[in-house]
Amino acid sequence: MNDLPNVTGIVAEVQERFSDRLDAVRVCRRDEIYFDAKMDLVAGFSGHLYKKWGARLVSVFADDVRDQENVFHLYYVYALDAARAFFILRVPVPPDKPEFTSLTNAIPAANWQEREIQDLFGLKLIGHPNPSRCALHDDWPDVHPLRKDFDLHTQLPPFQGERHKFREVEGEGVFQVPVGPVHAGIIEPGHFRFSVAGEPVLYLQLRLFYTHKGTEKLFENLPVTHGVRLAESISGDSSFAHATAFCHAIERAAGVEAPPRARALRTLCLELERIYNHIGDIGAIATDVGFMVANMHALRLKERVLRVNEQLTGNRLLRGMACLGGVRFDWDGAQIKALENLTAELGPEFDSLVELIENSSSTRDRLEDAGILKPEVARDLGVVGIAGRASGFDHDLRRDFPHAAYDRVKFRVPVYQEGDVEHRMQVRIDEVRESLSIIQQLLANLPGGAVRVEIGELPAGRTALGYVEGWRGEIYHWIRTAPGNRLARCKVKDPSLQNWPALSEAILGNIVPDFPVVNKSFNLSYSGTDR
């Protein structure tokens, strides 16, 4: 991996390349560099970072600073994995001309994120291939909830607009199969409309954002200490990862680093969150092809992890453990021994679960070549995490941007090219084994000392990007501080927002009865997407 001089060299090259068009360059942190420019530079800047430095666009969002600078700001966040740096392009949008040029035709990964900006901030998209509403449904009134002049307590009138018009299909023998938004399971709403000819799926239309909770609005003017609990609620099965990403952002803004023991305990919790979710998903995938015995085995193993979670933190989903400056609780000898016993005993039992599935020819037949997401499609859509690594995406923030205590352990990032359900399961299998190894490495050399440091009063106007490799994939929290130790803006990026569009690609050519297992192999979060 490159070190600081290489990052400095890249910044110098970019400055030289766009010298007459960059308004300012600010190095906030070694791995977080901001560039200010006008809208007409966005396409060229993006193309240069992609081609010259192998960058990828990981987030696009807006911020309303009209009360201070009489503009909206657009932020384009690029990850330069080889250099371990984030380049962030900031672009002003004047209120008297609230519009911006779309990147989606060149970078499809920007699609939903740009449309969210249009919905939530009222900035008109220019040149987008499908500029229809996304985060707000068609029957919402003409409001933009993330503008500063929108009151969180506003009582909206009953929705009376037109309902969403799905794309019509034509042709002999072609028909549509609607599924949802209310489902048979205890899950959140999402609508899937299949266009089929006979059995194969020709096209899948997704409709999400049924439960927009206003999470990012709730962060505004919220005391930073209260933000941790709100972050935990973004996506329940990733509560610790989201809370840690939020804490990471606040700590970076404050110029504070959690103590070594706290970073180690955070890493242990992140890996426990990864293990229980991966094992649960492996069992659920088996269920969707009728292998209930494997699912019962998986549920038993998941339950063991959840009980240890409760023993360590007081909560089965690890809530209440994360806090600003470190973690809320230290662990005594009995708790550490319980974790040691779990990892020692879970490994062989997990191997027996994997062997059970691998020895089932009928299960393998349903998983192989089902729901293929081609590597080139995954790359264009910016697919991350499990689904990305099963389709050739060789990136993992734990390795490429070491956070918590990941710089103290060795592990392998599993990457495959096949992109089918079988290999999305295989990524989970490999990662469970690596997670057990990470936990064992940390327990063998667990640092002593404090588990928390004080953050102190945060100065207003600071920005910072916090990040975590959650079990689904990359999680980002970007913050801008306000006076009074509060937040003016918190942008949340859950990996599901990036990955949902890939499901429409992966299901093509498959039959509708295969959708449950293809969908489960991605296992994306409605809540993390809707926010």
Under the phi-then-psi rule, with left for phi > 0, alpha for psi from -120 to 50, and beta for the rest, what region is 178? beta
187 and 65 housed in the same domain = no
The reported pLDDT for the residue numbered 421 is: 97
- 23 φ, ψ (degrees, to nearest 5): -80, -30
Q: How far is the C-alpha of 418 from the C-alpha of 416, rounded, in Å?
A: 6
Tell me, yes or no, whether 164 lies in a domain.
no
Residue type, 256: V
Q: Does residue 153 sit within a domain?
A: no
Asked whether the beta carbons of 228 and 238 are under 8 A apart, the reply is no
Kindly state whether residues 401 and 435 are assigned to the same domain: yes
Residue 154 lies in a domain: no
For 470, the token pair is 């959650």
Please tell me the distance from the alpha carbon of residue 36 to that of residue 69, in angstroms, as a whole number: 14
Please report whether residue 412 resides in a domain.
yes
Q: Cα(303)–Cα(288) distance, rounded to whole angstroms?
A: 20
Q: Is residue 32 part of a domain?
A: yes
Of 300, 303, 298, 304, the residue nearest 281 (C-alpha)? 298
Asked whether residue 188 falls in the same domain as residue 242, the answer is no
Please tell me whether residues 102 and 188 are part of one structural domain. no
The answer to the question of residue 132 being in a domain is no
Amino acid (one-letter) located at 48: H
Q: Are strands 32-37 and 85-93 parallel, antiparallel or unpaired?
A: parallel
DSSP annotation of 203 reads E
Is the distance from CB of 7 to CB of 83 less than 8 angstroms? Answer: yes
Q: Which domain range does residue 31 map to? A: 4-126
Q: According to the model, what pLDDT value does residue 523 have?
A: 94
Same domain? 420 vs 317? yes
Report d(CA 131, CA 116) in Å as an integer: 10
CATH of the domain at 259: 1.10.645.10
Q: Which residue, among 114, 125, 168, 161, has the nearest Cα to 142 in the 3D structure?
A: 161
The answer to whether residues 115 and 187 belong to one domain is no
Pair of tokens at residue 90 = 């900031």
The CATH number of the domain holding residue 43 is 3.30.460.80
Helix orientation angle between 333-358 and 421-444, rounded to the nearest 10 degrees: 150
- Same domain as 388, residue 470: yes
CA distance 255 to 225: 16
Counting the structural domains of the chain, the total is 3
pLDDT 10s digit of each residue in the chain, 531 long? 444 448 889 999 999 999 889 888 888 888 999 999 999 999 999 999 999 999 999 999 999 999 999 999 999 999 999 999 999 999 999 999 999 999 999 999 999 999 999 999 999 999 999 998 888 888 788 889 999 999 888 888 877 767 777 877 777 788 888 888 888 777 889 999 999 988 899 989 999 998 888 899 999 978 899 999 999 999 999 999 999 999 999 999 999 999 999 999 999 999 999 999 999 999 999 999 989 999 999 999 999 999 999 999 999 999 999 999 999 999 999 999 999 999 999 999 999 999 999 999 999 999 999 999 999 999 999 999 999 999 999 999 999 999 999 999 999 999 999 999 999 999 999 999 999 999 999 999 999 999 999 998 999 999 999 999 999 999 999 999 999 999 999 999 999 999 999 999 999 999 988 999 999 999 999 999 998
Question: What is the C-alpha separation between 494 and 234, in angstroms, rounded?
Answer: 9
Same domain, 93 and 194: no
Question: What is the pLDDT at residue 113?
Answer: 96
Contacts by 109-118, CB closer than 8 A, 24 or more apart: 109/56, 109/57, 109/380, 109/381, 109/382, 109/498, 110/57, 110/60, 111/501, 112/497, 112/500, 112/501, 113/59, 113/60, 113/61, 113/497, 114/60, 116/61, 117/60, 117/61, 117/62, 117/74
The length of the chain, given as a count of residues:
531
Q: Is residue 107 part of a domain?
A: yes
Three-state DSSP string of 257-279: CCCHHHHHHHHHHHHHHHHHHHH
Are 230 and 188 part of one and the same domain?
A: no
User: What is the distance between the alpha carbons of residues 193 and 413, in angstroms, rounded to a whole number?
Assistant: 35
Q: How big is the chain by its Cα radius of gyration, in Å?
A: 23
pLDDT computed for residue 163 by the predictor: 74
Shared domain check, 246 and 183: no
136 in a structural domain: no
With CA atoms as reference, report the closest residue to 472 among 369, 370, 383, 376: 383
Beta bridge partners of 490: 479
Regarding whether 292 and 438 lie in a shared domain, the answer is yes
For 126, 178, 281, 504, the CA distances from 198, given in Å and listed in that order, are: 38, 15, 30, 18
Q: Are residues 426 and 329 in the same domain?
A: yes
